[in-house]
């Protein structure tokens, strides 16, 4: 077995030994700006010392692009970060953004690139954040760069709220599972509805929802548990975002159950909630006359229904309990329109006020009209 492993390693060892650093250095020096980047990457792979020595003369000549970005990564790995800084300072804004992104892609697996970002944060100060260097750290899942992001979050919202939210997202994606506890603390402590929404959304970033590799199941479970733990401290907007984040994390039941938290102010006791429903039937009968009938009822449910889920549940229950057959009875044609409230009611009086006004508004004085106040629907 040992001789097979040695044999397998020989080609790569041979290629490292066979490369001619001097020839590659000469080729790099003589290459055109379009081909110098490729030559430099080959030199760095052959001899890091030689690559470091010629970096200062080579990088300023490079034309911006994918190959130049790879040459920048190679120069940092070879120990020539200052040459990379000088080259990047001469780039246009969009070119620099792409170069920073390329460095970020190399960051996770390379200690020199990680150190480069830490050094840039220290030297650039606020410019590191205003020029959005930090956005490259999304996939750099290393403690050193995460500490940069964490320290920036320690400063709080500040005047540039959008930057804070972007740093928060980057931190969550970078730190992954390690960010869940921090996000939970921020969510409980922050007293700002807009900020709260962004913090709650960041739990999905921590689980890496939407990334090419897919969400991390263990982190998603931890994030779901954390959201449900802090949900009672959130504003209504925060709870609504928590619902969407739980859906993104794959916790549909938890998402539905947050309806009880969102509408806790109108809990009827024991987690029961009172909605309302009006089914408006309107038909043109065989004899040409118009008939209108309205079924009016409260709707009882157990705190796991959001407004956009109400109609499907109400229709399913009504199909068993109500006779919505006005058009069939008069041998005509017609339709049924559902009228539902935007939120559960605090009491019967509020329901009655809503229902009476809606019936009055929708009543067709030219039609034969009937109102049916029927038994509550259970959904």
Mean pLDDT of 159-166: 95
Domain C-terminal end among 104, 127, 150 = 127
Q: Is 50 exceeded by the pLDDT of residue 218?
A: yes
Q: Which two tokens stand for residue 169?
A: 């997202």
Q: Is 50 exceeded by the pLDDT of residue 270?
A: yes
Measured between alpha carbons, how far is 96 from 294 in angstroms, rounded to an integer? 65
Q: Of 233, 232, 231, which Cα lies nearest the Cα of 245?
A: 231
Q: Which residue reads 């709080």 in tokens?
A: 156
Measured between alpha carbons, how far is 107 from 116 in angstroms, rounded to an integer? 9
pLDDT for the residue numbered 135: 95
Q: Is 70 exceeded by the pLDDT of residue 4?
A: no
Name the residue range of residue 25's domain. 18-127
pLDDT for the residue numbered 129: 96
Global model pTM greater than 0.75? yes
Please indicate, yes or no, whether residues 339 and 230 belong to a single structural domain of this protein. Answer: no
Check: CB of residue 90 under 8 Å from CB of residue 63: no
pLDDT for the residue numbered 7: 40
Measure Cα distances from 28 to 3, 35, 65, 78 in Å: 38, 8, 17, 15
Q: Is 70 exceeded by the pLDDT of residue 13?
A: no
Distance spanning both ends of the chain, measured CA to CA: 68
Q: Which two tokens stand for residue 299?
A: 């709707």
Each residue's pLDDT tens digit, 232-266: 999 999 999 999 999 999 999 999 999 999 999 99
Residue 134 lies in a domain: no
- Characterize the bridge pairing of strands 333-339 and 273-284: antiparallel
Domain C-terminal end among 262, 296, 331 = 262
Q: Which residue reads 């050094």 in tokens?
A: 119
Using only C-alpha atoms, what is the Rg of the chain?
32
Each residue's pLDDT tens digit, 301-333: 999 999 999 999 999 999 999 999 999 999 999
pLDDT for the residue numbered 18: 74
Residue 1 lies in a domain: no
Each residue's pLDDT tens digit, 187-217: 999 989 999 999 999 999 999 999 888 999 9
Measured between alpha carbons, how far is 112 from 187 in angstroms, rounded to an integer? 34
Measured between alpha carbons, how far is 85 from 169 in angstroms, rounded to an integer? 26
Q: Of 11, 10, 84, 76, which Cα lies nearest the Cα of 48?
A: 76
pLDDT for the residue numbered 213: 87
Please indicate, yes or no, whether residues 165 and 258 belong to a single structural domain of this protein. Answer: yes
Please indicate, yes or no, whether residues 305 and 255 belong to a single structural domain of this protein. Answer: no
Each residue's pLDDT tens digit, 170-191: 999 999 999 999 999 999 999 8
Q: Which residue reads 């229904």 in tokens?
A: 305
Mean pLDDT value across the chain: 93
Domain C-terminal end among 69, 100, 127 = 127
């Amino acid at each position: 077995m040992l001789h097979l492993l040695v044999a397998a390693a020989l080609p790569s060892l041979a290629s490292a030994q066979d490369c001619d650093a001097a020839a590659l250095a000469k080729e790099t020096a003589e290459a055109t700006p379009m081909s110098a980047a490729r030559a430099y990457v080959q030199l760095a792979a052959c001899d890091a010392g030689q690559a470091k020595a010629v970096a200062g003369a080579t990088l300023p000549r490079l034309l911006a692009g994918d190959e130049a970005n790879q040459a920048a990564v190679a120069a940092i790995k070879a120990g020539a970060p200052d040459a990379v800084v000088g080259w990047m300072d001469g780039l246009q804004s969009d070119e620099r953004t792409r170069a920073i992104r390329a460095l970020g892609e190399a960051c996770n697996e390379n200690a020199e690139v990680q150190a480069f970002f830490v050094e840039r944060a220290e030297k650039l100060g606020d410019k590191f954040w205003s020029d959005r260097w930090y956005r490259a750290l999304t996939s750099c899942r290393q403690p050193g760069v995460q500490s940069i992001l964490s320290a920036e979050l320690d400063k709080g919202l500040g005047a540039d709220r959008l930057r804070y939210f972007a740093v928060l997202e980057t931190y969550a994606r970078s730190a992954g599972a390690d960010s869940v506890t921090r996000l939970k603390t921020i969510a409980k402590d922050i007293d700002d509805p807009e900020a709260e929404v962004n913090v709650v959304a960041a739990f999905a970033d921590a689980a890496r929802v939407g990334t090419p590799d897919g969400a991390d199941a263990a982190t998603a479970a931890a994030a779901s548990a954390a959201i449900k733990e802090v949900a009672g401290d959130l504003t209504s907007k925060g709870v609504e975002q928590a619902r969407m984040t739980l859906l993104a994390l794959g916790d549909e039941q938890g998402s539905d159950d947050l309806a009880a938290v969102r509408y806790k102010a109108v809990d009827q006791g024991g987690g029961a909630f009172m909605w309302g429903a009006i089914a408006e039937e309107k038909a043109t009968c065989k004899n040409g006359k118009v008939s209108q009938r309205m079924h009016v009822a409260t709707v009882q449910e157990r705190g796991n229904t959001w407004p956009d889920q109400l109609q499907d549940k109400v229709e399913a229950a009504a199909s068993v309990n109500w006779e919505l057959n006005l058009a069939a009875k008069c041998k005509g044609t017609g339709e049924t329109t559902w009228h539902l409230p935007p939120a559960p009611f605090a009491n019967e009086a509020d329901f009655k006020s809503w229902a009476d006004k809606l019936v009055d508004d929708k009543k067709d004085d030219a039609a034969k009209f009937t109102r049916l106040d029927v038994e509550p629907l259970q959904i």
